[in-house]
Amino acid sequence: MKNSRKLLGKEIKLAASPLSWLFISFALMAFIPGYPILVGAFFVCFGIFQSVQSGRENNDILYTVLLPVSKTDAVKAKYRFAVLIEMLAFAVSAIITMIRMTLMTQTTPYVTNPMMNANQAYLAYMLLIFALFNWVFLGGFFKTAYKFGFPFVLFIVISFLLIIAAEVLHHIPGLEFLNRTDTLGSTTMWTILAAAVGISVIVTFISCKVAMKRFERVDM
């Protein structure tokens, strides 16, 4: 545990690309009406990808495993850094969503918005995109700890299919409630968000465990 914390510090101070921090600002897309705001979650993941890419080019993984730490600690540090960035972006989006659901709930551009509105469903989809990134990209990267092209392309395809599905669902009769702006008191919407939280935690946890086993088999 102590090594994992120190390695997380290394990720933040040495391995992290400035773009990982800068791209947290894409969570502000939650304020934009008439735009597929879930794309902001993709860009947050793209920022994390930049750190992994930078680390690969600078032999960060090799440097890490040469330290007096285990390979599993190196994997956990990468996952913890990714989750840190994701949760910071999620916190920004959650604050904006609460503002839109309270102070701006009757604002015309949002009420008449044909695209996804910021509500609990939006936050749930955001968590699912992060879970996909952790499973598909990070888990795929640690098969070799070097090749990341295919895992990231696969993540792009799957994440945009989810974004498209999320934009379509609220236009289906009976599912219009998914795009309402006044759902602060909706038990259904909070249940959807709670389910997404559970799925995201479980998927990320399992992905990390699988990645650790994969990386143990990698000959550096």
The torsion region of residue 32 among left (phi > 0), alpha (psi -120 to 50) and beta comes to beta
Check pLDDT > 80 for residue 3: no
Sign of the C-alpha dihedral, residues 51, 55, 57, 61? negative
The whole-angstrom distance between residue 132's C-alpha and the CA centroid of its chain comes to 8
Question: What average pLDDT does the segment 61-74 reach?
Answer: 80
pLDDT tens digit string along 92-132?
999 999 998 888 887 888 878 889 999 999 999 999 999 99
Residues 182 and 109 sit within 8 Å (Cβ to Cβ): no
Residue 85 near residue 41 (C-beta atoms within 8 A): no
pLDDT of residue 2: 60
Q: Are 139 and 172 in contact (CB under 8 A)?
A: no
User: What does the pLDDT look like over 11-41, one tens digit per residue?
Assistant: 888 888 999 999 999 999 999 888 899 999 9
- Contacts of 29 by beta carbon, 8 Å cutoff, 6+ apart: 35, 37, 39, 40
pLDDT by residue (tens digit) across 158-215? 999 999 999 999 999 999 999 988 889 899 999 999 999 999 999 999 999 999 999 8
* pLDDT category of residue 63 using cuts at 50, 70 and 90: confident
User: What's the rounded Cα separation, in Å, for the pair 29 and 190?
Assistant: 21
Question: Quick check: 188 and 177 in contact, CB under 8 A?
Answer: yes
Task: Please determine, for residue 83, whether its predicted confidence score (pLDDT) is greater than 80.
Answer: yes
Q: Which amino acid is at 199?
A: I
pTM score, whole prediction: 0.93
Could you tell me if 98 and 166 are in contact, meaning their C-beta atoms sit under 8 angstroms apart? no
